[in-house]
Structure 1
Amino acid sequence: MDLPVMPPVSPMLAKPLKTLPEGWLYDLKWDGFRSIVFRDGDEVELGSRNERPLTRYFPELVEAVRAELPRRCVVDGEIVVATADGTRLDFEALQQRIHPADSRVQLLAGRTPALFVAFDLLALGDEDLTGMPFRERRARLEAALGESLRADGRGRVRLSPVTAQEEVAMRWFTDFEGAGLDGLIAKDPEAAYQPGKRVQTKLKHERTADCVVAGYRTHKSDDEAIGSLLLGLFTQDGRLAHVGVTSSFPMARRRELFVELQDLVTDLDGHPWDWARQLEGERTPAKGVGSRWNGGKDLSFVPLRPERVVEVRYDYLEGERFRHTTQFVRWRPDREPASCTYDQLDRPEDHDLADVLAVRR
């Protein structure tokens, strides 16, 4: 491979803000694996945010890049997987694609094929474009992909929509959440590409929920300090589902919490997650969910009587669980654990992913 921009490249990143900067270009925030694609003829490499290649995990994208991207190019974008019906993004299915067995990789490539959503162009032919303003890189990307994007929308390479109109962007922010999108990215139209720098901004969905605290894990550096609190919500049939964790505490508070929670420590007999006994030391209290990123990591927990309620800030649900680690807001001594149900959550209206991918500038 001999390109004007060579792998590995650390992607340009975004920092969170509460409002969109005026006069910028607004792109969608895709919920997938960030990837910079390098193509030099038949040679293809799928880079990642941590600069480790993802190439072997997505053979169908390697073939798509050869068929649908310019012969020599470097393109920044996101690898995503859609649900079986194609209506929304499926991050859980995407995570399953990272597997050590080649036979499994090949099976999943056919069963849950990925898409590559392009949003920036770093090199084309023999030209390094990273010093060019983003508005020019974007125009070059649209021109380069315009000839190769399939008109029927069935290709594996897609172009992320972008707009200069804030009102349009905010409409996307509201409407497209139902398709599984994560929010918006604002990009300075005059900025050069700056690898690894947080010079863009992101606007993400943010909500609060009252959850039951039903367990904890100790801190990795201190076994008498709280590492994270395990959160639950009651389903309509009265089951306490594990929905995620919260862990945003300073160390002094982690040690205080450890002492405070000892009176609630119990064993798994009669605990809502008593079935986790057989998985103790191996899994979280979510059946069949392990740590694909930290092989061998001990994910066991200390069960607590589900009597305390905490308010947390979250962005959105994926299935029954919060997609990301939640942020602690406050304890809620005024709330009864039984009142912490899924009914309190704000669920966005469904929106077909195909409509998102069909948007043009």
Structure 2
Amino acid sequence: MGSRPRDFTPYLRPMRTAFEFCLPTAANVVPAGPDWIHEIKYDGYRLRVERQGKTVRLFTRNGHDWTKRFPWIVEAALKNREQHFVIDGEAVVLGVDGVSDFDALHSRRHDNEVQLYAFDVLALGGEDLRELPLSLRKTNLARLLRGRPDGMFVAPFEPGEIGTELFGAACRLGLEGLVSKRRDRRYSAGRSKDWVKVKNRTHPAMDREF
């Protein structure tokens, strides 16, 4: 489906079977400058979607297999024309206002409504993309989910210069906060200073960590 630009070739490696999450570092100040991009932090469960042919599996940050728990995400993954991919994102329940509702998610009463807020792609078409800079992985993700069915949506992002303003807007809207990422860095397993999370201190998520 033409999912990788020609200039990806020097970075690509055969896909490895083991994937681990990149975890953001907590901070009090939103980083600024052209090397950063910013994403709204949706309040949900971190989730990795792995598709191999006709098989889709969903894994949590703690390694739990939640494939049967969120059928809408599985259905969306299977409807994609691409047969092999690994996507990193957040499982969320969205309210009528488009804001994620953690209480609804945590209640288990809305499992059929859970969607994936997708913000990274780690593998595509049998190729491991983790060595690519984030900016190119974002390009791949947008192409992979272009014309996507309901159940998965691409996380929008903004350039580094407006990070502080975006964080202020997120707080005023009652959102969880902001995740800022270095646009030129690879995807690294474990805690990373290239991903920075700044939380809205008035949000309920300040009192918990999943």
TM-score by length of 2: 0.81
Matching residue of 2:27: 17
In the TM superposition, residue 5 of structure 1 has moved relative to its aligned partner by 4.0
**Which of residues 176, 189, 199 is equivalent to 1:182?**
176
Q: Matches of 1:325 and 1:73 in 2, distance apart?
A: 34
Matching residue of 1:325: 207
8 A Cα contact 2:89 2:117, kept in partner: yes
Q: Matches of 1:131 and 1:96 in 2, distance apart?
A: 37
In the TM superposition, residue 181 of structure 1 has moved relative to its aligned partner by 2.9
Unpaired stretches in structure 1, ≥5 consecutive residues: 98-106, 207-314, 317-321, 327-361
Matching residue of 1:128: 128
Task: Confirm or deny that 1:6 pairs with 2:17.
Answer: yes
CA-atom RMSD in angstroms: 2.2
Cα distance change on mapping 1:172 and 1:197 into 2, 3 Å: same
8 A Cα contact 2:132 2:187, kept in partner: yes
Report the count of equivalent residues.
Answer: 192
In the TM superposition, residue 4 of structure 1 has moved relative to its aligned partner by 2.0
For residue 197 of structure 2, what is the amino acid of its counterpart? K
In the TM superposition, residue 163 of structure 1 has moved relative to its aligned partner by 1.6
For residue 124 of structure 2, what is the amino acid of its counterpart? L
Matching residue of 2:142: 142
Task: Confirm or deny that 1:166 pairs with 2:161.
Answer: yes
Matching residue of 1:118: 118
Deviations along 1:299-350, one digit per CA (max 9) or x if unpaired, are xxxxxxxxxxxxxxxx31xxxxx44428xxxxxxxxxxxxxxxxxxxxxxxx
Deviations along 1:149-197, one digit per CA (max 9) or x if unpaired, are 35xxxx1110001122422x33332333465531111111221111122
Task: Confirm or deny that 1:204 pairs with 2:86.
Answer: no
Higher relative contact order (CA 8 A, sep 6+): 2
8 A Cα contact 1:82 1:89, kept in partner: yes
8 A Cα contact 1:87 1:179, kept in partner: no
Counterpart secondary structure, 1:56: coil
8 A Cα contact 2:30 2:167, kept in partner: no
Counterpart secondary structure, 2:197: strand
Q: Matches of 1:160 and 1:69 in 2, distance apart?
A: 20
Structure whose alpha-carbon radius of gyration is higher: 1
For residue 54 of structure 1, what is the amino acid of its counterpart? W
Cα distance change on mapping 1:55 and 1:178 into 2, 3 Å: farther
**Which segment drifts farther, 113-122 or 176-185?**
176-185
